[in-house]
Amino acid sequence: PHGIQTILRELGIRAENPAYSTGLNWGGEHDRQQRTITSPADGKRIATINLATTEDYDQVVQTAQEAFKTWRLVPAPKRGEIVRQIGNKLREFKEPLGKLVSYEMGKILQEGLGEVQEMIDICDFAVGLSRQLHGFTMHSERPAHRMYEQYHPLGVVGIISAFNFPVAVWSWNAMLAAVCGDVSIWKPSEKTPLAAVAVQSIIRNVLQENEIPEGVFSLVLGDATVGAAMAADVRVPLVSATGSTRMGKKVGEVVGGRLGRALLELGGNNAIILTEHADLEIAIRAVVFGAVGTAGQRCTTTRRLIIHDSIYEEVKQRLLAIYPKLPIGNPLQEGTLVGPLIDQEAVAGFTKALEAVQQEGGKVLIGGEVLAGDAYPSPTYVRPALVEAENHYHTVQEETFAPILYLIKYQGDVEAAIALQNGVRQGLSSAIFSLNMRETETYLSHVGSDCGIANVNIGTSGAEIGGAFGGEKETGGGRESGSDAWRIYMRRQTNTINYSTQLPLAQGIKFDV
Ligand code: UN1
Helix axes 168-179, 193-209, angle to 10 degrees: 30
SS3 170: helix
> CA 169, CA 242: separation in Å to the nearest integer?
8
Q: Is the dihedral of CA 101, 106, 109, 111 positive or negative?
A: negative
Question: Are residues 21 and 49 in contact, defined by beta-carbon separation less than 8 angstroms?
Answer: no
What's the pLDDT score for residue 16? 74
Three-state secondary structure of 304-362: EEEEECCCHHHHHHHHHHHHHHCCECCCCCCCCCECCCCCHHHHHHHHHHHHHHHHCCC
Residue 461 in contact with ligand 1 by CB distance below 6 A: yes
Rounded to the nearest whole angstrom, what is the distance from the C-alpha of residue 269 to the centroid of ligand 1? 13
Question: Are residues 197 and 20 in contact, defined by beta-carbon separation less than 8 angstroms?
Answer: no
Rounded to the nearest whole angstrom, what is the distance from the C-alpha of residue 385 to the centroid of ligand 1? 21
Integer Rg of the chain from CA: 24
If one residue of 110, 171, 299, 481 were mutated to test the ligand 1 pocket, choosing by the most ligand atoms within 8 A of its CB, it would be 299
Residue 462 in contact with ligand 1 by CB distance below 6 A: yes
Q: Which atom of ligand 1 is nearest to the CA of 464?
A: 10
Q: Which residues are catalytic?
A: 265
The predicted complex's ipTM stands at 0.97
Cα–chain center distance at 410: 31
Q: What is the largest CA-CA distance in the chain?
A: 90
> CA 411, CA 408: separation in Å to the nearest integer?
10
Three-state secondary structure of 103-159: HHHCCCHHHHHHHHHHHHHHHHHHHHHCCCCCCCEECCCCCCEEEEEEEEECCEEEE
Sequence length of the chain is: 513
> CA 110, CA 332: separation in Å to the nearest integer?
9
If one residue of 117, 342, 469, 480 were mutated to test the ligand 1 pocket, choosing by the most ligand atoms within 8 A of its CB, it would be 469
Per-residue pLDDT of the chain (513 residues; tens, 9 = 90+): 557 888 888 888 877 788 999 999 999 988 899 999 999 999 999 989 999 999 999 999 999 999 999 999 999 999 999 999 999 999 999 999 999 999 999 999 999 999 999 999 999 999 999 999 999 999 999 999 999 999 999 999 999 999 999 999 999 999 999 999 999 999 999 999 999 999 999 999 999 999 999 999 999 999 999 999 999 999 999 999 999 999 999 999 999 999 999 999 999 999 999 999 999 999 999 999 999 999 999 999 999 999 999 999 999 999 999 999 999 999 999 999 999 999 999 999 999 999 999 999 999 999 999 999 999 999 999 999 999 999 999 999 999 999 999 999 999 999 999 999 999 999 999 999 999 999 999 999 999 999 999 999 999 999 999 999 999 999 999 999 999 999 999 999 999 999 999 999 999 999 998
Residue type at 405 in one-letter notation: L
What's the pLDDT score for residue 2? 57
Residue 107 in contact with ligand 1 by CB distance below 6 A: no
Ligand 1 atom 7 nearest Cα: 462
What's the pLDDT score for residue 7? 86
Rounded to the nearest whole angstrom, what is the distance from the C-alpha of residue 499 to the centroid of ligand 1? 50
Q: Which atom of ligand 1 is nearest to the CA of 301?
A: 11
The secondary element (H helix, E strand) that includes residue 171 is helix 168-179
Ligand 1 atom 3 nearest Cα: 299
Rounded to the nearest whole angstrom, what is the distance from the C-alpha of residue 469 to the centroid of ligand 1? 8
Q: Which atom of ligand 1 is nearest to the CA of 242?
A: 3
Rounded to the nearest whole angstrom, what is the distance from the C-alpha of residue 340 to the centroid of ligand 1? 18
Nearest by Cα to 309 from 417, 404, 386: 417
Residue type at 229 in one-letter notation: A
